[in-house]
Amino acid sequence: MTLTRHIRGLVVSLVAIFFAPIGQAESPLSGTYIFLQKTTSVTKMPVLSDVVATTRAVSIQELKFDGTWLRGKGELCSIDLESSSKLVKTTLPPAFRRALPPVQVDARISSEDGLRRFTQAAQTLVLGANLTNKESDPLPTDVNDKRVTDDDDDGKPGVTVQVSGIVNGQIYLVQRSTSRLDGHATEGGFHGRIRFTNEQKILDATSKTLRRDPGAKPDLKRSEFILHRVNAPIDCKTAEGILRQLESG
């Protein structure tokens, strides 16, 4: 084979790899990713301004792409609550964080109008209760309900969140959250919207004031995810720095 023919054959092979339809190329999407999930809720307050609260969860994922599905698990780096109100601050104690399962990515990658789409079906997580059907069974409302569990292993029913500000104390609750992801390919990975619901029942609290559910509603327009490909290995501190740059850009 002449040198010219060899080069021509190499070019053809490279073109076939980079422009092959999804499912035919050799898993170019497998690798290490930083995964940011931001879900925002709004609580209507009488007289006062609405309270906007955002849950920001960051994890590092090792994902495999089989030609159709991008899948894998990752450990949570951080989960924090950011609120527009300075009157009350809600904190998730370390025990609450340890009760959370590994973060799961299970997304279908498809092609639409020449663009890669990222679609993850609804995932449901229940904390503080053992339900036969976690998607539809009513949540317990009584600490004596046999379905109530102590998932954070702190000796209190359900899971515990800490509140400080004009009111200080702890809330013991059962929570069910469901989220579905829909996005598109970016230069560094994927970006899109999170469509979620969040239901909770307060079982008890250290203060009567804290036993009232504020009734927060999801704000889907401000709820989003970023799945960004990085070189491994990477630690959580570096991952956070990269995400802050992506968010500010």
Q: Please, what are the averages of pLDDT over each run of 10 residues along the chain (249 residues)?
A: 40 33 56 96 74 94 96 95 86 94 97 92 97 97 97 97 92 97 95 96 93 88 96 93 88
- The tokens for 192 are 């899109």
Using a 10 angstrom Cβ sphere, with 0-12 exposed, 13-18 middle and 19 or more buried, the burial of residue 177 is middle
Q: Whole-model pTM?
A: 0.85
Structure confidence at residue 212 (pLDDT): 86
Structure confidence at residue 196 (pLDDT): 96
- The tokens for 148 are 């109530």
Q: Collapse the DSSP code of 39 into the 3-class scheme (helix H, G, I; strand E, B; otherwise coil) and give the result.
A: strand
> CA–CA distance from 176 to each of 1, 81, 158 (Å)?
65, 17, 12
Rounded to the nearest 5°, which phi and psi values hold at 138?
-65, 145
Structure confidence at residue 46 (pLDDT): 60
